[in-house]
């Protein structure tokens, strides 16, 4: 396997160190309660049903109403009038066939044939008009100034943060994936490598009070440049590094720094040894960063028993979706990459026999205006998300696909749509499938009770089967 080495300074800057502290599990929302292996039904040994969630962040704000599009004549005409020069021609749309009809026909962007096949085969669904929202909100409340709105609505910095933290009312550097890991990481036999693994460097989503992400890239672990290499200079470098790592320092700051570097280096070596032991897949992956990131996630999942993992959270940021200009050209280039990568990842999960154990889902800063700014679209609110996996109730459009007629009851101007499904419901359902108990779910998603009764006995939306 090809290894990508980086400098020690870059390694320190980028790597997320999995330091398992003994501090109390506290978050701004209140205390979290650790979950044992027995509570997850993993048995006395901790070995049992494996689960992984894979988060694909489309950062920048995907114009998802040019991804999932009305296809019937009447609804398409409304779409075409509203979207004007940004409308995809009706005869280019790829038809999809939801199992539960809502009276409308739908199609996908012409660059996503693989996604259409996954949908029609029951392996994938959409969550429609989902967004950051504190409580159910009406257009009238917004216009008269009485609505309780998310902090920094329409702001990239705030909205991309809120999707990752589930805190729509305040700014936080602690993510909901990190909070889940805080209470669940002890179910993994391996405490040297974080249960949260990032293919995109440090991120808010996987950052917890106790747990931070273990950073890898498309080539594997990001180790110290030249460490363990076969060249004579590499061997000299390795010896010098080992001397520094094994030295005892009287300065507490130096010793803490060295301990952190040593722990991270050891984790990287352990991870790469496990990854290198996995045979190549029959599934072929495209030669781009997104597909290769999914390939490395598949290698890590295949090595779960070697590494001692029962729960894992993965993160990929596929950025570049802030299409204020050249929307049609940019989406024609980027949406096919997403479609193909998801097809490849689903195929390799089927090859490994693990489709029921892995849920892949998308997030994005916000939807975009339905109206054109001339050659692109601007920041908006509600949009459409993708969920994929064997436990997904596939071939469905969950939530309520909105009218795309301008000035409809959800349109607060320029085709900015008020979400009808909250991010809390969307995220909480994934967390509950992952094994998070009701008490911690209510704490991690503090606005969930405004939309859902945690004691109802049914999932918040119903797109996952558990």
- Over the stretch 301-359, which tens digit does the pLDDT of each residue have? 999 999 999 999 999 999 999 999 999 999 999 999 999 999 999 999 999 999 999 99
The pLDDT value recorded for residue 19 is 33
User: Which stretch of 158-162, 269-273, 300-304, 326-330 has the lowest confidence by average pLDDT?
Assistant: 269-273
Which has more confidence, 334 or 236?
A: 334
**Better-scored residue on pLDDT, 118 or 33:** 118
Structure token pair of residue 367: 């939807």
Domain membership of residue 40 as a residue range: 8-450
What are the strands of the beta sheet with 94-96, ordered from one edge? 68-70, 106-108, 94-96
Phi-psi label, residue 41: left if phi above 0, alpha if psi -120 to 50, beta otherwise: left
**Is residue 462 in some structural domain?**
no
pLDDT at 18 over 60: no
Give a yes or no: residue 304 inside a domain: yes
pLDDT at residue 208 greater than cutoff 80: yes
Give one DSSP letter per residue of 186-235, joined into a string: GGSS--SS-SEEESSSS-STT--SS--PEEEETTEE--BTTTT-SSHHHH
Return the ∠ at Cα 296 (arms to 293 and 300), rounded to 5°: 140
Query: What is the percent of the chain with per-residue pLDDT over 90, rounded to a whole number?
Result: 78
Asked if residue 460 is part of any domain, the answer here is no
CB-based contact 84:371 (threshold 8 Å): yes
Does 459 reside within a domain?
A: no
Mean pLDDT of 404-433: 98
pLDDT in tens, 276-287: 999 999 999 999
**Region 252-279: what's the mean pLDDT?**
83
Q: What is the mean pLDDT of residues 143-172?
A: 97
Predicted pLDDT of residue 9: 36
Question: How many domains is the chain partitioned into structurally?
Answer: 1
Band (27; pLDDT cuts 50, 70, 90): very low
In a domain, 149, yes or no: yes
The CA distance from 3 to 391, in Å, is 34
Identify whether the C-beta of residue 242 lies closer than 8 Å to the C-beta of residue 227: no
- CB-based contact 133:419 (threshold 8 Å): yes
Q: Is residue 298 part of a domain?
A: yes
Domain annotation covers residue 465: no
pTM, 2 dp: 0.89
Mean per-residue pLDDT for 380-399? 98
Do 86 and 377 contact (CB within 8 A), yes or no? yes
Token pair belonging to 402: 């909105």
The pLDDT of residue 34 is 79
> How distant, in Å, are the alpha carbons of 76, 118, 466 from that of 392?
28, 12, 9
pLDDT in tens, 113-134: 999 999 999 999 999 999 999 9
Going by C-beta distance under 8 Å and a sequence separation of 6 or more, which residues neighbour residue 359? 51, 52, 53, 54, 387, 388, 389, 391, 392, 430, 433, 434, 464
- Band of residue 48 on the pLDDT scale cut at 50, 70, 90: low
Least confident of 64-78, 255-269, 298-312, 395-409: 255-269
In angstroms, the CA 381 to CA 139 distance is 13
24: burial class by Cβ within 10 Å (0-12, 13-18, 19+)?
Answer: exposed
357 domain-assigned: yes
Torsions phi, psi of 84, nearest 5? 50, -120
For the chain, what percent of residues have pLDDT higher than 70?
89
pLDDT in the model for residue 167: 97
Q: Give the least confident one: 126-130, 166-170, 228-232, 408-412.
A: 228-232
């Amino acid at each position: 396997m090809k290894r990508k080495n980086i400098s020690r300074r870059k390694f320190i800057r980028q790597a997320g160190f999995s330091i398992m502290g003994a501090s109390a599990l506290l978050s701004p929302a209140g205390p979290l309660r650790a979950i044992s292996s027995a509570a997850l039904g993993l048995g006395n040994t901790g070995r049992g049903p494996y689960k992984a969630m894979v988060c694909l962040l489309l950062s920048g704000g995907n114009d998802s109403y040019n991804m999932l599009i009305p296809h019937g004549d009447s609804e398409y005409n409304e779409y075409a009038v509203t979207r004007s020069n940004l409308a995809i021609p009706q005869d280019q749309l790829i038809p999809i066939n939801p199992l539960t009809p809502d009276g409308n026909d739908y199609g996908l962007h012409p660059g996503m044939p693989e996604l259409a096949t996954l949908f029609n085969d029951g392996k994938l669904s959409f969550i429609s008009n989902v967004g950051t929202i504190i409580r159910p909100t009406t257009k009238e409340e917004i216009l008269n100034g009485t609505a309780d709105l998310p902090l920094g609505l329409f702001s990239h910095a705030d909205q991309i943060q809120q999707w990752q933290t589930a805190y729509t009312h305040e700014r936080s550097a602690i993510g909901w994936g990190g909070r889940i890991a805080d209470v669940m990481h002890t179910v993994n036999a391996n405490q040297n490598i974080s249960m949260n693994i990032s293919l995109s460097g440090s991120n808010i989503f996987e950052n917890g009070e106790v747990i931070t992400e273990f950073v890898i890239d498309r080539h594997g672990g990001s180790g110290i440049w030249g460490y363990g290499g076969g060249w004579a200079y590499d061997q000299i470098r390795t010896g010098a590094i080992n001397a520094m790592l094994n030295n005892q320092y009287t300065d507490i700051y130096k010793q803490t720094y060295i301990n952190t570097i040593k722990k991270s280096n050891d984790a990287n070596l352990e991870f790469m040894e496990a990854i290198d032991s996995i045979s190549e897949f029959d599934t072929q992956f495209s030669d781009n960063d997104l597909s290769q990131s999914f390939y490395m996630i598949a290698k890590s999942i295949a090595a779960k028993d070697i590494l001692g993992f029962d729960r894992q959270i993965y993160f990929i940021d596929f950025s570049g979706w802030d299409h204020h200009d050249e929307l049609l050209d940019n989406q024609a280039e980027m949406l096919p990459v997403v479609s193909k990568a998801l097809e490849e990842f689903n195929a390799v999960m089927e090859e490994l026999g693990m489709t029921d154990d892995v849920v892949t889902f998308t997030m994005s800063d916000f939807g975009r205006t339905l109206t054109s700014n001339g050659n692109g679209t601007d920041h908006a609110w509600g949009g459409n998300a993708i969920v994929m996996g064997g436990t997904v109730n596939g071939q469905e459009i969950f939530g309520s696909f909105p009218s795309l007629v301008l000035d409809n009851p959800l349109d607060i101007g320029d085709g900015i749509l008020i979400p009808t499904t909250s991010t809390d419901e969307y995220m909480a359902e994934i967390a509950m499938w992952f094994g998070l108990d009701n008490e911690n779910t209510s704490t991690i998603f503090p606005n969930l009770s405004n939309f859902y009764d945690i004691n109802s006995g049914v999932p918040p939306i119903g797109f996952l089967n558990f």
